[in-house]
């Protein structure tokens, strides 16, 4: 059996589950390229054959339109898995490393090897992508895996539990359903790597549990991702920027995404123009309620509504602000200069509310960002090359994207991950393979040549020899060895 339904987890022996997976790993079956490639092909078939089912469960859990579901999860994920299939042989090959002449004859290699048994906690906002992208990397690297889907996306969790065993090696890949108690029980056991995607609060608990077994952990956490909007030269450029801002705020799970734009920084003079363009474009984009995902559940809906309960914050609303508790939907909402000490500016919003903060000069935005925790992503719309350079040099974040937003998530050629409070560990593309691999150093030397100056008894001449070795002064070393120079 390759899945563990929620109703069975209470009586499940997780120690036995981990032991079975470790036995499979130790048998060597997952190390061969053929097995790894077969698993990746299985994921591709899953995405192709169950596409409509995936659309259905994402609509049930989050109200996602099928186009959004394909763009953000199915399509981008299939592309990523195919990329792994095409490149796996090269990624898994040993890399030659330089060896100094003094070590001759010798060869050095860096050999990627699987870590062993890994645990993946996925999140509810991209419940297919955040489960299967790291899974594809773990399988490409040759590991056995447990996937713990989020219980907050129950339809997707049940879909993964029912279908992963049909398309992948059910003895090497397990899906465990359940809530926080199940996650805690899983973390009581020794893993060779844990990847957690979710809140900072739970991330701290994961690290605490992992410390017991010295388990390495990768954390993909949320943050307040800022967007700097410079005054662009043309109406067309401004409109393109507005399109992309809206796409990165309201068109991706209704702003319930760790890489969604959390707030905008703009010059005072340009703010009214930007707000009017946002208003008009929002009307054109969201002509039907179904074009924007709903809020996850009543708890999250109430949390977002409470952000506007502060009178100072409510007074800053310049567009939207309508909440529908029956459908768990919130109108795209713009706020101009809410108090910086309010919850909406100190906590991650994770919803369709967008504060717009004005600055005297756009360069002042850099000082503003440096006073905040390091975000998962910084976005900036500008043609000013000096401003771009300053943002790169003077700020720290998981990534920086100029003149677009969120699209960096879909690039297999660059790593995805946070820094500081936004997490640590990087994946996507080759980086997913590397996250679940260990780069083992392999050095092979001959017994032919032996240098006795490596060993005691010590004297000044041996120190001189060592000085020449560490400075790569091979000519002087040669003469010293044959007695022509001291």
Known catalytic residue at 227? no
CA distance 440 to 227: 40
Which residues are registered as beta bridge partners of 112?
439
Task: Tell me how far apart the alpha carbons of residues 74 and 349 are, in angstroms, rounded to a whole number.
Answer: 26
Q: Say which residue the tokens 């906690």 belong to.
A: 121
Task: Determine which one of 177, 220, 267, 434 is catalytic.
Answer: 220
* 258 noted as active-site residue: yes
Q: Residue 200: in which H helix or E strand, if any?
A: helix 200-211
Q: What angle do helix axes 75-92 and 129-140 make, rounded to 10 degrees?
A: 10
Q: Which two tokens stand for residue 342?
A: 């309010």
Centroid of chain to Cα 472: 42
Which H/E stretch holds residue 203? helix 200-211
Residue of 134, 156, 138 lying closest to 55 (CA atoms):
156
Residues in Cβ contact with 62 at an 8 Å cutoff, skipping those fewer than 6 apart? 124, 125, 127, 153, 253, 256, 293, 294, 296
> In angstroms, rounded to a whole number, what is the distance separating the alpha carbons of residues 193 and 121?
11
Verify cis geometry, omega within 30 degrees of 0, for the bond prior to 402.
no
Q: Point out the catalytic residue in the list 177, 225, 258, 348.
A: 258
User: Do residues 224 and 348 make contact, with C-beta atoms less than 8 angstroms apart?
Assistant: yes
DSSP assignment of 219-266, as one string?
A: EEE---EEEEE---SSHHHHHHHHHHHHHHHTTTGGG-STTSEEEEEE
Positive or negative: CA dihedral 155, 156, 159, 161: negative
Pair 77, 132: CB distance under 8 Å = yes
Q: Give me the active site residues, please.
A: 220, 258
């Amino acid at each position: 059996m390759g899945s563990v339904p929620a109703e069975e987890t209470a009586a499940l022996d997780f120690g036995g589950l981990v032991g079975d997976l470790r036995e499979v790993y130790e048998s060597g079956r997952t190390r061969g390229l053929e097995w790894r490639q077969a698993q990746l092909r299985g994921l591709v078939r899953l995405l192709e054959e169950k596409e409509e089912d995936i659309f259905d469960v994402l609509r049930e859990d989050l109200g996602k339109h099928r186009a959004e579901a394909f763009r953000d999860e199915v399509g981008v994920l299939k592309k990523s898995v195919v990329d792994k299939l095409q490149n796996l042989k090269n990624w898994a090959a040993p890399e030659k490393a330089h060896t100094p002449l003094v070590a001759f004859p010798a060869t050095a290699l860096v050999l990627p090897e699987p870590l062993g048994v890994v645990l993946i906690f996925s999140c509810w906002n991209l419940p297919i992508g955040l489960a299967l992208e790291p899974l594809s990397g773990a399988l490409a690297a040759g590991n056995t895996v447990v996937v713990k889907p989020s219980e907050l996306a129950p339809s997707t969790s049940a879909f993964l539990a029912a279908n992963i065993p049909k398309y992948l090696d059910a003895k090497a890949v397990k899906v465990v359903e359940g809530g926080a108690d199940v996650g805690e029980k899983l973390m009581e056991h020794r893993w060779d790597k844990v990847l957690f995607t979710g809140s900072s609060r739970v991330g701290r608990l994961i690290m605490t549990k992992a410390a017991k077994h010295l388990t390495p952990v990768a954390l993909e956490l949320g943050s307040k991702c800022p967007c700097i909007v410079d005054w662009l030269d043309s109406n067309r450029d401004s409109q393109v920027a507005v399109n992309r801002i809206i796409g990165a705020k309201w068109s991706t799970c209704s702003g319930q995404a760790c890489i969604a734009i959390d707030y905008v920084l703009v010059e005072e003079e340009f703010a009214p123009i930007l707000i009017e363009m946002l208003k008009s474009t929002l009307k054109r984009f969201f002509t039907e309620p179904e074009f924007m995902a709903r809020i996850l559940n009543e708890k999250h809906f109430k949390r977002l509504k409470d952000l506007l309960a502060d009178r100072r914050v409510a007074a800053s609303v310049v567009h939207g602000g309508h909440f529908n508790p029956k459908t768990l939907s919130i109108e795209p909402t713009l706020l101009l200069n809410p108090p910086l000490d309010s919850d909406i500016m100190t906590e991650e919003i994770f919803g369709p509310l967008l504060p717009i903060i004005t600055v005297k000069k756009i360069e002042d935005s850099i000082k503003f960002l440096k006073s905040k925790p390091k975000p998962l992503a910084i976005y900036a719309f500008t043609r000013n090359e000096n401003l771009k350079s300053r943002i790169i040099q003077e700020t720290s974040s998981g990534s920086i994207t100029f003149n677009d937003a969120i699209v960096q998530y879909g690039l297999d050629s660059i790593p995805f991950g946070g820094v500081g409070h936004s997490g640590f560990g990087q994946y996507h593309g080759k980086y997913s393979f590397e996250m679940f691999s260990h780069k083992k150093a392999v050095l092979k030397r001959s017994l032919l040549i032996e240098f006795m100056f490596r060993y005691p008894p010590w004297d000044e001449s041996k120190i001189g020899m060592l000085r020449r070795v560490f400075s790569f002064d091979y000519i002087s070393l040669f003469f010293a060895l044959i007695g022509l120079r001291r």
